[in-house]
């Protein structure tokens, strides 16, 4: 029986331009793995968002197959039925389900879309979709007591993130990270395991909160800020924590460091629903007195063709007769309306009239199977340089403040992949090309001597 | 790793039902749980084998050993609002 183990350190939003290019020489633990193993860009799913990306990674399946297109998904074609994508939204096996059934021992800490926890052959600490630690956030349930004893109050995420009090955010992020790594290390040292995985959210929170202080290209760059090195210092802190984890694993352990997507500076916000109103696609029965989220706006459905969701990308939904309760578009016109919208969205411009390079996807063009209720269109404004602002009543198309508060960064399509296999000599495969997020699950299974299910779309990396 | 639940105790189950209960339980647990065999000491053993199994599954679920039914809402209204606010604050929505 193979003694091989697999350890995955997931760093949500870890960015190749920073890890591989800018700072590798100053991140000794990470660069040691890169130099002794292999690394490359890891292309995320469409959309490159935490949910569904980590589940795509660990199931080897795209969002269409998972029927999960974002943090909230339409449960039906009504106008109200948006449900959160918890662990129960994932009906497909993730790696730990397969390994558990095969009798392999697993340790999971903080992997998105694991709340509410489900039984595994080992243990699980859930993710930031857990309301708080008064809920059952571990499997088995008793594990919560041990966590409390080891690290005190466990932080699932940062509270009150939309604040200008950056010191407070920093403090919380460091506390969260310290505890997550500490408890994960504790489990590595005290439990038998074949597969162990943790996901740290801190890098994502740092990027969104501190990017403008670091990047001279950012529209709101603040030269000489005391937070200028906040992101680098945090990456260095993470590198030190990784070094501690590496000190407790044995010579049979394959180590992967992965991220679900990258990051880039936010240029601004594109007010999708205000734009739809301006173009005649969305009608309100009552003008809001102040900006309100689209879900709280009084939409004149019989006169509405399309509406959109806000976030790091946009999802557009069409109001189709016979499908939506008060549909507007005749089914036979669905495709022509969609094509017209794609053409107009791809031609969207910035506040100075310059094309922003918006990309628009039809779900059927990017997924080989579509389950659940997919958006009719998926939109990356400015190829993700602009976020989507869903509120109405703003009276503008281009916003330079997020409708929810400050946010310096958006997501980018490429995350990081680093793998060190002690049994694979370094050299020929050092820089890898063409890696996809769905490659991780089959790679883990193959490393652990398991058959890769035929319906996993990724490839097992050697 | 030792856990507090290392044996199954089916107290007061009538012997003639035990085999049937055991078979049904094995089938259900194989689908839902890995290795961690629970202690069940609150089973009354009254009713049919199917009812006893339902009682056992209820206890497993109550003690967090198996996932609740997929039909049950994950969040209370208050929890859902908390998650929505968190995701909005984090920029995801």
Residue A228 belongs to domain with CATH number: 3.40.720.10
A67 and A163 housed in the same domain = yes
- The sheet with strand A398-399 has its strands ordered as A386-389, A268-271, A398-399
A304 and A379 housed in the same domain = yes
Model pLDDT, residue A57:
98
Q: How far is A10 from chain B (nearest CA, A)?
A: 19
Does residue A60 lie within any of the structural domains?
Answer: yes
Contact A49 B89 (CB under 8 A): no
- Chain B contacts in chain A segment 88-147 (CB below 8 A): 88, 100-101, 103, 115-122, 128-129, 131-132, 135-136, 139-142
Distance (Å, whole) CA A111 – CA A176: 14
Per-residue pLDDT band at B18 (split at 50, 70, 90): low
CB nearest to A161's CB, from B82, B89, B93: B89
* Range of lowest pLDDT (A7-21, A151-165, B11-25, B76-90): B11-25
A238 and A299 housed in the same domain = no
Q: Does residue B55 register a pLDDT over 80?
A: no
Residue identified by tokens 């660069």 is: A31
Model pLDDT, residue A116:
94
Model pLDDT, residue A81:
78
Chain A's closest residue to B66, CA to CA, is A119
Domain boundary among A385, A406, A427: A406
CB nearest to B65's CB, from A119, A387, A402: A119
| A chain contacts of residue B80, beta-carbon cutoff 8 Å | 84
| B chain contacts of residue A100, beta-carbon cutoff 8 Å | 34
Contact A141 B63 (CB under 8 A): yes
Contact (Cβ atoms closer than 8 angstroms) between residue A138 and residue A122 = no
A191 touches chain B (CB under 8 A): yes
Does residue A100 lie within any of the structural domains?
Answer: yes
| Enclosing domain of residue A353 | 268-406
Strand partners, A130: none
| Nearest alpha carbon to residue A8 among A431, A437, A459, A419 | A419
CB nearest to A71's CB, from B1, B89, B93: B93
Taking each helix axis from N to C terminus, what angle separates A202-214 and A166-190, rounded to the nearest 10 degrees? 140
A400 and A417 housed in the same domain = no
A430 and A342 housed in the same domain = no
Does residue A224 lie within any of the structural domains?
Answer: yes
Chains A and B form CB pairs within 8 A to the count of 89
A129 and A253 housed in the same domain = yes
Per-residue pLDDT band at B8 (split at 50, 70, 90): very low
| B chain contacts of residue A310, beta-carbon cutoff 8 Å | 93
Contact (Cβ atoms closer than 8 angstroms) between residue A435 and residue A40 = yes
Contact A116 B32 (CB under 8 A): no
A52 and A154 housed in the same domain = yes
Does residue A452 lie within any of the structural domains?
Answer: no
Does residue A12 lie within any of the structural domains?
Answer: yes
Model pLDDT, residue B34:
62
Model pLDDT, residue B91:
84
A255 and A272 housed in the same domain = no
Distance (Å, whole) CA A189 – CA A9: 16
- Is ipTM > 0.85 here? yes
CB nearest to A119's CB, from B32, B79, B87: B32
A430 touches chain B (CB under 8 A): no
Distance (Å, whole) CA B7 – CA A9: 35
Contact B91 A311 (CB under 8 A): yes
Per-residue pLDDT band at B45 (split at 50, 70, 90): low
Distance (Å, whole) CA A234 – CA A408: 16
Q: How far is B86 from chain A (nearest CA, A)?
A: 7
CB atoms within 10 A of CB A229: 14
Contact B83 A161 (CB under 8 A): no
Contact B34 A309 (CB under 8 A): no
CB nearest to A119's CB, from B34, B75, B86: B34
Does residue A104 lie within any of the structural domains?
Answer: yes
A160 and A250 housed in the same domain = yes
pLDDT in tens, chain A (462 residues): 458 999 999 999 999 999 999 999 999 999 999 999 999 999 999 999 999 999 999 999 999 999 999 999 999 999 987 899 999 999 999 999 999 989 999 999 999 999 999 889 999 999 999 999 999 999 998 999 999 999 999 999 998 887 888 999 999 999 999 999 999 999 999 999 999 999 999 999 999 999 999 999 999 998 999 999 999 999 999 999 999 999 999 999 999 999 999 999 999 999 999 999 999 999 999 999 999 999 999 999 999 999 999 999 999 999 999 999 999 999 999 999 999 999 999 999 999 999 999 999 999 999 999 999 999 999 999 999 999 999 999 999 999 876 566 688 999 999 999 999 998 876 666 899 999 999 999 999 999 999 999 999 999 998
Q: Work out how many domains chain A is built from and give that number.
A: 2
Distance (Å, whole) CA A345 – CA A305: 15
Distance (Å, whole) CA A376 – CA A388: 16
CB nearest to A162's CB, from B34, B70, B89: B89
| B chain contacts of residue A84, beta-carbon cutoff 8 Å | 74-75, 80, 83-84
As to burial, measured by CB atoms within 10 angstroms (0-12 exposed, 13-18 middle, 19+ buried), residue A162 is middle
Q: How far is A100 from chain B (nearest CA, A)?
A: 7
- Chain B contacts in chain A segment 67-96 (CB below 8 A): 70-72, 84, 86, 88
Does residue A459 lie within any of the structural domains?
Answer: no
Does residue A237 lie within any of the structural domains?
Answer: yes
Contact A208 B83 (CB under 8 A): no
Contact A205 B90 (CB under 8 A): yes
Contact A140 B3 (CB under 8 A): yes
Contact B89 A192 (CB under 8 A): no
A257 and A316 housed in the same domain = no
Q: How far is B42 from chain A (nearest CA, A)?
A: 18
CB nearest to B4's CB, from A142, A310, A405: A142
A49 and A141 housed in the same domain = yes
Q: Does residue B2 register a pLDDT over 70?
A: no
Distance (Å, whole) CA A406 – CA A428: 44
Contact A208 B87 (CB under 8 A): no
A337 and A374 housed in the same domain = yes
């Amino acid at each position: 029986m193979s003694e091989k183990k697999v350890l995955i350190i997931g760093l949500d939003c870890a960015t190749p331009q920073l890890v591989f290019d800018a700072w590798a020489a100053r991140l000794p633990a990470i660069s040691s793995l890169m130099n002794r193993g292999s690394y490359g860009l890891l292309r995320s799913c469409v959309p490159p968002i935490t949910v569904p990306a980590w589940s795509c990674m660990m199931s080897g399946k795209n969002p269409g197959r998972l029927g999960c297109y974002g943090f909230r998904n339409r449960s039906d074609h009504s106008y109200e039925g948006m449900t959160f994508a918890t662990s129960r939204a994932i009906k497909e096996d993730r790696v730990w389900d397969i390994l558990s059934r095969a009798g392999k021992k697993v340790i999971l800490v903080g992997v998105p879309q694991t709340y509410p926890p489900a039984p595994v052959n080992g243990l699980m600490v859930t993710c930031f979709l857990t309301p708080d630690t008064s809920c059952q956030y571990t499997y088995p349930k008793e594990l919560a007591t041990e966590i409390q004893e080891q690290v005190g109050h466990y932080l699932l995420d940062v509270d009150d993130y939309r604040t200008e009090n950056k010191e407070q955010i920093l403090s919380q992020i460091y506390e969260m990270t310290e505890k997550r790594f500490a408890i994960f290390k504790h489990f590595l040292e005290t439990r038998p395991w074949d597969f162990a995985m943790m996901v740290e959210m801190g890098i994502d929170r740092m990027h969104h909160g501190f990017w403008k202080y670091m990047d001279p290209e950012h529209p709101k760059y603040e030269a000489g800020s005391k937070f200028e090195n906040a992101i680098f210092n945090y990456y260095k802190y993470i590198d030190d924590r990784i070094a501690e984890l590496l000190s407790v694993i044995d010579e049979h352990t394959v180590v992967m460091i992965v991220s679900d997507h990258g990051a880039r500076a936010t240029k601004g916000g594109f007010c999708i629903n205000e734009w739809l109103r301006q173009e005649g696609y969305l009608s309100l029965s009552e003008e809001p007195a102040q900006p309100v989220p689209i879900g709280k706006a009084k939409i004149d459905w019989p006169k509405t063709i399309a509406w959109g969701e806000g976030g790091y990308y946009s999802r557009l939904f069409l109001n189709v007769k016979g499908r939506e309760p008060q549909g507007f578009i005749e089914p036979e016109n669905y495709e022509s309306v969609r094509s017209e919208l794609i053409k107009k969205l791809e031609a969207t411009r910035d506040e100075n009239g310059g094309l922003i390079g918006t990309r628009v996807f039809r779900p059927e063009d990017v997924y080989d199977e579509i389950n659940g209720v997919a958006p009719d269109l998926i939109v990356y404004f400015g190829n993700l340089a602009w976020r989507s602002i869903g509120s109405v009543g703003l009276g503008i198309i281009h916003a330079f403040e997020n409708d929810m508060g400050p946010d310096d960064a958006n997501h980018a399509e490429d995350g990081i992949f680093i793998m060190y296999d002690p049994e694979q000599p370094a050299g020929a495969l050092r820089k890898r090309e063409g890696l996809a997020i769905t490659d991780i699950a089959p790679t883990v299974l193959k490393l652990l001597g398991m058959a890769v299910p035929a319906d996993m779309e990724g490839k097992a990396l050697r | 790793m030792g856990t507090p639940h290392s044996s199954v105790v089916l107290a007061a189950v009538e012997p003639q039902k035990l085999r049937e209960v055991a078979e049904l339980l094995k089938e259900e647990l194989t689908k839902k749980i890995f290795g961690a065999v629970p202690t069940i000491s609150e089973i009354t053993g009254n009713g049919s084998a199917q009812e006893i199994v339902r009682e056992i599954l209820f206890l497993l679920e109550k003690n967090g050993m198996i996932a609740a039914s997929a039909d049950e809402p994950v969040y209370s209204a208050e929890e859902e609002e908390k998650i929505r606010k968190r995701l909005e604050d984090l920029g995801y929505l």
